[in-house]
Structure 1
Amino acid sequence: MTQDQVWGAQADEAERRRWFDPTFKIMAVKVLPGEHYVSTAGQEMIVTVLGSCVSACVWEPRLKIGGLNHFMLPESSSNDRAPVDKSMRYGNHAMEELINDLLRRGARRDSLEIKVFGGGNVVSSMSTGATVPIGDRNAEFVRRYLDDEGLRIAAADLGGQHPRRIHFFPRIGKVIRLFLKKDVERAVLNRELTYRSKLKDVPVEGDVELFT
C-alpha cells in the first residue's frame, strides 16, 4: 500500500467519525484506542476519551498542523519497568507512527510541540496484577519515550483517578481537557478492558525508526 493509500484509508475512517460539534462550533473527528489521526484541514477538532490510556497531542506551529494518538501498553511479559520488552515496543510504535506521519507531511522534528494526557488509574481492577498499575505504566512510558528521543513535553496532565475527554485544535495547538463525571467511568473502563484483552493477540515485531 502506498503512503497516499494509507492517508486515504485514514481519511475514510475519520470521515465515518466526523460530526459538527455545536458547543465548539467546529467539525470534530473522534480517535479510538489504537488509532492516530493527523489533521491538515484547518478548522477541525480532534477528540478522544482516556481512562488509563495515553494520548499525545503533537503540533507543528510553522505548518499549523497536528495529530493525536491514543494507546495503551499491553500486559508486560517481564519486569514492569523493563526498557525493551514487547509492551514497550508497542508504545514506541504508537508514538513513532504519529510523529512520522507528521514528518512525512513536512513537519520539522525540532519544531514539534507535544502535550500528553491520560494515564489515569480509573479503578483498581485496571491494574494488571503487576506491581505498577497500567495507567502509571502508560504515563511513565510516554515521559521516558519523549525524554529518550530528545522531544520536549510542553504540557502534561497524567495520572489521577478519573477519565478525561481531550479536545485538540491542531490549527492553533490548543488542548482542552475535561474530567468526566462518575457515571461515564464505567463505559470508559469497559471499552478499555475490551481493548486491553485484544492486545494479548497483537504481535509487535521489529522496530520503527523516526525520520530526521
Structure 2
Amino acid sequence: MADPRELERTARTIGPGGWAVESERPIATLLGSCVAVCLWDTGSRIGGMNHFMLPRSDGRHARPDIDTLLCGDFAMETLLNGMLGRGGRRSRLQAKVFGGGAVVAGLTHVHIGEQNATFARDWLTRENIPLVASDLLGRWSRKVVFDPCTGDAFCRRGEEVTSSLIHAEQRYERTLQKPRQTNIELF
C-alpha cells in the first residue's frame, strides 16, 4: 500500500466544481459540507474524483455559466462521462464517497452536507454503481487523497476547519440567498 503522505505530496488537487480522471497521478481535495465521489474502474485501473457543493441544479441555485459543476447532478454525469471517455466501463465501476460535514455553525440550518451525502448515495444506487466505502456527515472537515492506480482512498478528518474553507462556504451561501438576476444581451 502506498504512503498516503507521498500520495498527497504528488496529488493533483481539485476544488469545488472540480473533477479529474487519472490513471497514475493521485487526486486530492479538501471538503467541508461538500461531497467528493471517487469512481474506480477495477479492470482498466483508472479513477476519477469530483467535488460538488449542492446536490442539484434546480434553477434557483445554479448559474449555468458559472456554477454548473458545483451541483452534484452535473458533477456526477461529468465524472462518469470522463471515466467512460478514458476507457472505463460502467459494469466495472465502484465508488467511494466522502464529506457532507456540518462544519460551519451558520450553515447547519440548511443541512446542505446531509443533502449532498443523500444525493451521492441515491445517484450511485440509481446508476447501479456499488458504494464500497464512505465517510460522510459529522462536524469535521476532510482531506481526501485518491490513488487511481489501486482504487485506495485515504481520508483525514480535521477537527478544526481552516478559515479559508469556512469563508468559502459562507461566501457561497450568501450567493445562494441573493435573488438571481438574469443578464440578457441583445445583439
TM bin (shorter chain): 0.7 to 0.9
Shift of the 105–162 alpha-carbon distance from structure 1 to 2, 3 Å rule, reads same
8 Å contact 2:4–2:145 — kept in the other structure? no
Instruction: Provide structure 1 residue ranges, at least 5 long, that are not aligned to the other structure.
Output: 1-20, 77-83, 204-212
CA distance, structure 1, for counterparts of residue 174 and residue 76 of structure 2:
21
Matched-pair contact (CA < 8 Å) for 1:51–1:121: yes
2:14 alignment partner AA: V
How many residues align structurally?
A: 169
Q: How does 1:48-87 map to 2 (within 5 A)?
A: 48-73=29-54, 85-86=58-59
Amino acid at match of 2:82: D
Q: 1:191 aligns with which of 160, 165, 168?
A: 168
Structure 2 residue 162 is matched with structure 1 residue 162 = no
Residue identity opposite 1:64 in structure 2: R
* SS at 1:179 equivalent: strand
Measured after TM superposition, the shift of residue 85 of structure 1 is: 3.9
- Counterpart contact for 1:33–1:195, Cα < 8 Å: no
Find 2:106's aligned residue among 93, 103, 125: 125
Counterpart position of 1:23: 5
Report the counterpart of residue 210 of structure 1 in structure 2: none
Cα displacement (A) at 1:180: 1.6
The TM-score with structure 1 as length reference comes to 0.71
Alignment identity in percent? Answer: 39
User: Are 2:89 and 1:112 aligned?
Assistant: no
Gaps of 5+ in 2: 63-67, 183-187
| Counterpart contact for 1:38–1:102, Cα < 8 Å | yes
For 1:5-42, what per-residue CA distance to the aligned partner results, in whole angstroms no more than 9, with x for missing partners?
xxxxxxxxxxxxxxxx99316621100001101112x2
Deviation at 1:202, TM superposition (A): 10
Match of 1:206 in 2: none
Query: If the length of structure 2 is used for normalisation, what is the TM-score?
Result: 0.79
Deviations, residues 89-146 of structure 1 (Å, cap 9, x unaligned): 932111010011000111000100100000001133123x44xx11111111111111
The separation in 1 between residues aligned to 2:181 and 2:157, in whole angstroms, is 30
RMSD of aligned C-alpha atoms? 2.8
